[in-house]
Structure 1
């Protein structure tokens, strides 16, 4: 099964030599599941010709806001709607979660409650999973036909499904502790409150539930439709 990765941002320059870019994070997360991958860097203006260029689609995180007037946002929203119309399975992570919601009629805003950084508990379908987060924006109004299946005290609309076709998550299962450490150092200092960065650093060695989330993502792509 060919997964098309729509890359909407880049990892910090300082960590790319050792960790790769965002598309590499997802290939590691979903490795061993029988997928092949192709990447379109939509943040740099490169788009697939049609939804049929892949069997399933994944939209990455980004430092940008879904509501920003960037030249690639509207074409990406059009592509999201075309993928949905074509019946292809799709997953969105963080910015991907937000841009899918916005494209399908929801609302994304800079959250007045501030940032969520590092290892956080998410209650998903009655189970608690600990996953890394890195965001201030949130989906504050879900689209029609979307269902909330995951949340925590900070983020009410953390995991959404749209029937059996689309799954989106606000947290970052593809971010390992070293990634969070790099983001703290190269993107967090001076922007995110120090108390939150320090708290995130204290949990870098605490286990995460990313394997369970990766299994769920893979099952979503492979499910018969």
Structure 2
């Protein structure tokens, strides 16, 4: 690769939900949170061809609230599909539109696709994989993900520690993708196809404060009972590899 990119990478972040109040106050939306993550990853990579500020050009698309507004594939290099509290398998107009758009991007363009949690499941659904409730139940806060050989190669670690917040999952690997990892609770933790897509079931963008707000809110609303609340809160402050995942995302975007 040249020592300097010819132009900035144009990354369209498809926001599929709105953060809880404290997280929204700091980052404004999930787009702002992922911008922070990817710029942090660029700093950690410390590559002469990737300036953390000038080499990344972000745009934000709130596809849940504005399902008629999507980026033109000719104007972008990549999309990143965020997490969401919604069911990725729901027969809901805006989710169906998102699935169709993702499928078109993957089949008809050279735009690269990153999917995170709900976004990972949307990519699976767009590739005709079965998506639904996970028989293993909830994964929440920091959990270990065992990596395949390809996962170890892409992430540069032997095991991934990452925040999770899901009870839905991709049930099978779609045709044409490589498996990246698995856990006792969820067998499809990440997918990869060179210069095409990379996804992860976990949340590299989350930290202790964000996860604490989510778990506390779900406890207050009865989604998590006292036992689950205690279990998950006991893992919010564990070390996690969010920036490691961010660096892998950026290396994927730079693949030539």
Q: Does TM-score exceed 0.5, indicating one fold?
A: yes
SS in 2 for 1:73: helix
Matching residue within 117, 128, 152 for 2:140: 117
Show the counterpart of 1:205. 237
Aligned pair in 2 of structure 1 residues 133, 143: CA closer, same or farther (>3 Å)? same
Preserved CA contact (<8 Å) 2:12 2:71: no
Show the counterpart of 1:50. 72
Report the alpha carbon displacement of residue 111 of structure 1 after superposing the two structures with TM. 1.3
Show the counterpart of 1:36. 57
Report the alpha carbon displacement of residue 43 of structure 1 after superposing the two structures with TM. 0.6
**What TM-score, normalized to structure 1?**
0.93
Show the counterpart of 2:88. 66
Q: Gaps spanning 5+ residues in structure 1: where?
A: none
Preserved CA contact (<8 Å) 1:23 1:39: yes
Show the counterpart of 1:148. 179
1:22 and 2:30 correspond: yes
Report the alpha carbon displacement of residue 56 of structure 1 after superposing the two structures with TM. 0.9
Show the counterpart of 2:155. none
Residues 201-210 or 93-102, more deviating:
201-210
Aligned length: 224
Show the counterpart of 1:103. 126
Q: Distance in 1 between matches of 2:139 and 2:236?
A: 15
Preserved CA contact (<8 Å) 1:159 1:169: yes
Larger Cα Rg: Structure 1 or Structure 2?
A: 2
Query: What CA deviation, in whole Å up to 9, does each residue of 1:92-119 have, x standing for no partner?
Result: 0000000110011101111122100000
Q: Gaps spanning 5+ residues in structure 2: where?
A: 1-8, 43-51, 153-157
Report the alpha carbon displacement of residue 51 of structure 1 after superposing the two structures with TM. 1.6
Preserved CA contact (<8 Å) 1:61 1:95: yes
1:175 and 2:183 correspond: no
Q: Distance in 2 between matches of 1:188 and 1:162?
A: 37
Aligned pair in 2 of structure 1 residues 188, 91: CA closer, same or farther (>3 Å)? farther
Matching residue within 94, 97, 103 for 1:75: 97
Preserved CA contact (<8 Å) 2:136 2:186: no
**What TM-score, normalized to structure 2?**
0.82
1:94 and 2:120 correspond: no
Cα RMSD between the aligned structures? 1.6
